[in-house]
A and B are shown apart, each in its own frame.
Chain A
Amino acid sequence: MKIAISATGQTVDSMLDKRFGRCQYFVIQDTETGEVETVENKGLTSEGGAGIAASQQLIDEGVEVIITGNLGPNAFELIEKSGIKAYKCHEMVIRDVLEKYGSGELLEIEESGPAHHGGH
């Protein structure tokens, strides 16, 4: 299973970024092999709809779990409908985030709210 974490850097020693759609990188760990890869967040270069672009990218990567600070309304809707589980975490080193996730300490992001529409 693949876990994606919004990050400020490219390794497990970098910090979690509380922003989802506008974070710099996603650090992705495959829990079966333990392998870690990093992808640049496509949302960062989207003029609008960053949360949607980032969500789509992670869906395409086959990610099943996302750990971030907060999800905007559009990203939340897309991720929820894709059956991906999203968890909330504070700014901390990615290595520790993964540990917290492993021990079941992270809370799922469940709030639902109104989406804004339009591409700006």
Chain B
Amino acid sequence: MDLVVLSGKGGTGKTTIAAALSELAKEVTRVDCDVDAANLHLYYEGKDIAREDFYGGKVAYIDGNICTRCGSCEHVCRFDAIEDFRVMPLACEGCGACTLICPQDAIELKPEKDGDVYTTQLDDGILSRAEMEIGSDGSGMLITLLRRIARKYSDDETLTVIDGSPGIGCPVIASITGSDAVLVVTEPTQSGLSDLERVVKLSRHFDIDPMVCINKYDINEDMGKEIEAFVEEEGLQLVGKIPFDDLVMESIHELKPIVYYEGSSAAKAIKDMWLTIKSLIF
């Protein structure tokens, strides 16, 4: 059972909620697919039990021994990534135009290390995550790898909580495809609503009607009502309305999931939401 937590918009509290839900689930596999800003692991003192290099993109490489310095590659490169017959790896997009134009066959595309992939053992399951190199970004290929590793440690019964990335791009698509359920965490702002609409559309492409939760719903109740109206119009399930709660900031500072704070109104709302989600997905 793969549950993907998405937001459309950044900064809505997606990771806070994904961490809280995975605590409530007990036996659980966690996947941090928000690889550009991976921070789920900060909540845990785990032990890395496996690490591998991740090679995603390719970068052109010019063999100086064969190159005749004709300059065709520099001319054809749309990314201005070739200067003085050398490729600047950070500018190269790996499109391969230079390899086609080179009359000497002096250029080839070589895989570039984009980051490290870790499997981290926690008390109640594993966390599959990545650390990217500077200049690299999350890709669907990497997300697919992280999810494949997670599956090795899970059976059909295990809940896998996937902390997705913001937006509706390739990494998000790779997070949703083949998943069983989507929870969208939004906030009561115009951009929160607009990004919610986009991620709902995307999710439906993969035949999943997402569940919606409004985080910090009481900071703008009018906007919150507008979002509620949208959710109802679309025939979706509003599974949680989480109030603004100062303790959430404290929990982030202390790196302890919010569900462990007695008297937290946000924690209570998340616990109620978890019961609703469980009844919907199991």
Contact = CB atoms under 8 A, between A and B. Distances in A.
A113 B206 CA distance: 11
A47 B205 contact: no
Contacts of A49: 170
Contact of A17 (B170, B178, B206): B178
Q: Which of A48, A69, A71, A73 has the most CB of B within 10 A?
A: A48
Interface residues of B, number: 26
A70 B139 contact: no
B140 A73 contact: no
Contact of A113 (B140, B142, B174, B201): B201
A116 B138 CA distance: 16
A36 interface: no
Contacts of B170: 48-50, 116, 118-120
A50 B177 CA distance: 12
Interface in A37-68: 44-51
Interface in A1-59: 17-22, 44-51
A47 B56 contact: yes
B178 A69 contact: yes
Contacts of B101: none
A47 B173 CA distance: 13
Contacts of A69: 178, 206-207
Nearest to B206: A70
Contact of A20 (B56, B169, B177): B177
Contacts of B99: none
B205 A72 contact: yes
B136 to A, nearest CB: 10
A72 B177 CA distance: 8
Nearest to A45: B141
Nearest to B172: A116
Contacts of B168: 116
B189 interface: no
Contacts of B173: 21, 51, 72, 116
A19 B177 contact: yes
Give the size category of A's interface with B: 20 to 34
Nearest to A51: B173
Nearest to B168: A116
B171 interface: yes
Interface in B138-161: 138-142, 144
Contacts of B46: none
Nearest to A118: B169
A104 interface: no
Contacts of A50: 140-141, 144, 170, 174
Interface string A103-115: 0000000010110
Contacts of A120: 137-139, 169-171
Nearest to B177: A19
Contacts of A18: 177-178
B205 A111 contact: yes
B57 interface: yes
Q: Which of B139, B177, B206 has the most CB of A within 10 A?
A: B177
A87 interface: no
A51 B170 CA distance: 10
Contacts of A19: 177-178
B204 interface: yes
A50 B140 CA distance: 8
B130 interface: no
Contacts of B144: 22, 44, 50
Contact of B141 (A47, A72, A88): A47
Given A47-B56, A47-B141, A120-B170, 5 more contacts: A22-B174, A22-B178, A47-B57, A70-B205, A111-B204
- The 7 tightest CB contacts between A and B, nearest first, are A47-B139, A48-B170, A19-B178, A19-B177, A70-B206, A47-B56, A22-B144
